[in-house]
Amino acid sequence: MAEQHVSFKVEDLFSVKGRVVVITGGGSGIGKALAEGFAVNGAKVYISGRRQEVLETAAKQVGGDIHIVQGDVQTKEGCLKIADAIKAKESHVDTLINCAGVNSPWRAPAKDVNNPDDVENLLVNGIEEEDFDRSNQIHVSGVYFLTVNFVPLLRKAADPNVCVIASLAALGVQRTMGSLPYSVSKAASVHLAKQLAARLHPMKIRVNTICPGIFPSEMTGVTSGKHEYKIHHKAEKAALRSTAGRPGRPEEMVGPVLLLSSAGGGYMNSALLTVDGGRMLGISINDGIRMPEDTYTDDVLS
């Protein structure tokens, strides 16, 4: 029998009060915004990252019941270390957010992405093996090993859930934003989340994915405050190509993640949300390959 479990009041429907939340990459950008979103709504939040000083600054800026666990998800051992640190303090974890990310810029960028010689040089000299290794280690194996090592704590929660922060780069071709290793590894993380959702079904652990568009972060700009970033030129132009005509705001990522972590999102599992201001609508035209105009019908061009 289907019956109502919580009231339809916002404070009940999307409540995360008293929940234990772990966020990787929680010292900056989207991760820091998520940390504050949970903390101000009464959750106990653990933020993890490689840089102790960045985590300390974030904790001071965010405030609330927030705790630091320095760690690196780039290795299996690093993931286990993070999980063990929290196991020593908590009997369960309600929400795990895999938000740590890295971008490996092209080492030899093409001046013209339609020039055959430029593109040949880009592909041959623009990527090293270590660029793929690092992206895959953080976005794929890091998400896997961190998540599975938290399973014992997640299983003890009433509604355990995992959120993977991927990227719009996982879903569309972008020749002017990001790099090939970044896009490929983020695409892998999307499918990994689906695989984890299926494998964790016996434990009733939900796994969902969010693919953000352009948001303030260290990947898209330079910090100038708690959640303020000076967006660099490429990201600024890319954001203008969304139907919203601007970058995303921190609250526009916090909202969907709170939804997935609360009673309001309790029926969502293996879901994929794009939070991109409508940028996916134009991504193939503006960032992919534009064919000659006479190959399009009037219906396509209108």
List of domains in the chain: 10-301 (3.40.50.720)
**Token pair belonging to 141:** 């194996």
Instruction: Give yes or no for a contact between 257 and 34, defined as CB atoms under 8 angstroms apart.
Output: yes
**pLDDT tens digits, one per residue of 92-103:** 999 999 999 998
- Name the band, by pLDDT with cuts 50, 70 and 90, for residue 302: very low
pLDDT, position 113: 80
pLDDT for 9 equals 96
Better-predicted residue by pLDDT, 278 or 288: 278
pLDDT at 282 over 90: no
The least confident of 38-47, 128-137, 139-148, 239-248 is 239-248
What's the CA gap between 265 and 154, in Å, rounded? 17
Lowest mean pLDDT among 72-86, 203-217, 235-249: 235-249
Is pLDDT at 20 greater than 60 in this prediction?
A: yes
Given this model, what pLDDT does residue 253 score? Answer: 95
pLDDT band at 291 (very low <50, low <70, confident <90, very high): low
Distance CA 302, CA 75 (A): 50
pLDDT at residue 132 is higher than 90: yes
Q: Which of 13-17, 191-195, 286-290 shows the lowest mean pLDDT across its residues?
A: 286-290
Q: What is the mean pLDDT of the chain?
A: 89
Decide if pLDDT at 263 tops 90: yes
CA distances 161 to 20, 42, 153, Å, are 11, 17, 11
pLDDT attached to residue 285: 54
Mean pLDDT of 21-27: 96
Query: Is residue 183 predicted with pLDDT exceeding 80?
Result: yes
